[in-house]
Amino acid sequence: MGSRVAAALLRRGWDQASALMIPRLAPRSAPAPAVPRIGSGSGGGGCLLPPRPGPTGAFSSASRFAPFHAFRSLAPKTLLGQCTRKMSTTAAALNSTMANGAANSGLKLLVTKGPQAQKAVGIWLFGCAAWVFSLVILGGITRLTRSGLSMTDWKFTGEIPPVSNEAWLLEFEKYKQSPEYKRVNKGMSLEDFKFIYWMEYAHRMWGRALGFVFAGPFAYFIAKGYVTCQLGLRLSALFALGGAQGLIGWWMVKSGLEEPTSEYVQPRVSPYRLATHLTSAFVIYCGILWTALSVVMPDPPMGSMSWVNGAAKIRKLAIPVSAVVGITAISGAFVAGNDAGHAYNSFPKMGDTWVPEDVFSMEPFIRNFFENTSTVQLNHRILATTTLLSVAGLWLAARKIDMHPAVKSLIGSTLGMAALQFTMVIDSDMYTLISVLYHGANSIDRLDSRGRFGFKSSDGCTPSFQAY
């Protein structure tokens, strides 16, 4: 009899018994429903069994379940015991990860040899990022003073500037053969030529100096064993991109030294090449800045799991906003390349209309977005407005999400920079030197804010707070 009942229980009641065991693992705020127990056990509770009606419809007496005492002792040691041990092991692992994250940081560090080495490499990288920032600003000054085409040749190793009067006259004669002198600066004095020459020379030499500032300490840190393989590969890629940037710069300048196809067109560099040059500079700047943050903050302070989830949510929203910011910055290069910045000096209208009549006058149609002065400026205005609204929407969404205060403050600063940048869009329509330079510098600063925000939000997307 006992063996038949045990077999029936194992066959028909195992799923129900397992389901009834699960509520015992629930929080105290949601107690499991009371069910008949068999045995008391040392812990105050026995095995939970489903009610089974007897022959008369009533629940049978405990004596009828004497053969099930073996099953009562078996269940807690198998199903319930395994569940409890598994949950305990998982909780202990999670607590160990969150409490002892720093202990595992050696697997994540990009710099070895201790905190002092980490600090030295971090300061060097932040200095290189600031150097790139200044180089972009100097490039903007060079373009606004129309100095970029003053040097008609380029040498990879650089060159010594003219010193004697004869050397200056020789360089001036080279410039006189260029289309820019013939169509724009004909009759320029030697003193005026010296000014634009020095501007372009300073821009080139400042870029070459950055190569030495980057390569020298990089080699030193490798020799000292500070740099891990991962960091070494990343920095090598950035160094190679910096070297290519010099070639891209000359490729851009060379397009401005070619004779224009129309006699009514002023010589200027290709807007496509200018956009490539500027985009490359942005990539280098953001890459160095991100790497510097990775070095000095390899294992950010831990926060609550709600902060982790909040950072993951806001990062999904931030990705498309970042794309809009980048596209807007690149569109500014086409504005500069087409001299479209001062084509319309009113806002929000462009002249007397909202949309110029010649906005789609070029063939094929796609050329209008990159070469048509009216279309290029209209695109930049629309993108600037979209950027401001996107960042404002991100800020409003962040206010309702629980996340690290530092992430929220960075979103707020990004909104402030976007609003200031939008104001500079309007002011730079007046096209003063200061407003345009400030507009360009602020675009880099906005990328800086987005880079730091992206870094902080990625820190909170996993329990380890580390994505690289």
Provide the domain count of the chain.
3
Scanning the structure block, which residue is given the tokens 């090449």?
273
Write down which residue in 96, 129, 148 finishes a domain: 96
pLDDT of residue 458: 52
CA-CA-CA-CA torsion sign (301, 307, 308, 314): negative
- Domain around 289: 111-298
Q: Is 460:303 a contact under the CB 8 Å cutoff? A: yes
- Where a domain ends, among 298, 314, 330? 298
Are 31 and 129 part of one and the same domain? no
pLDDT(296) > 90? no
Of 298, 323, 354, the last residue of a domain is 298
Q: How far is CA 448 from CA 195, 213, 322, 411, 442, in A?
A: 32, 21, 11, 12, 9
The phi and psi torsions of 300 (rounded to 5 degrees) equal -60, 160
Condensed to tens digits (0 to 9), the pLDDT of residues 383-412 reads 989 999 999 999 999 888 888 787 888 888
Say if residue 304 is in the same domain as residue 289. no
The answer to whether 50 and 35 have CB atoms below 8 angstroms apart is: yes
E strand or H helix that includes residue 199: helix 190-224
CA distance 423 to 40: 76
Q: How many CB atoms lie within 10 A of CB 320?
A: 11
Residue-level pLDDT at 4: 54
My answer on whether 91 and 121 are in the same domain is no
User: Quick one: how many helices (H) and strands (E) in the chain?
Assistant: 15, 2
103 assigned to some structural domain:
no
Is 91 a residue whose pLDDT tops 90? Answer: no
What pLDDT does 420 receive?
A: 82
Q: Which CA distances in Å does 449 have to 98, 262, 444?
A: 28, 43, 9
As a whole number, mean pLDDT of residues 417-423 equals 83
Same domain, 249 and 138: yes
pTM: 0.69
Whether residue 102 lies inside any domain: the answer is no
More confident residue, 330 or 264: 330
In the chain, how long is the greatest CA-to-CA distance? Answer: 123
Beta bridge partners of 53: 59
Residues sharing a CB contact under 8 Å with residue 187, sequence separation 6 or more, in sequence order: none
* pLDDT at 346 > cutoff 70: yes
What pLDDT sits at residue 425? 66
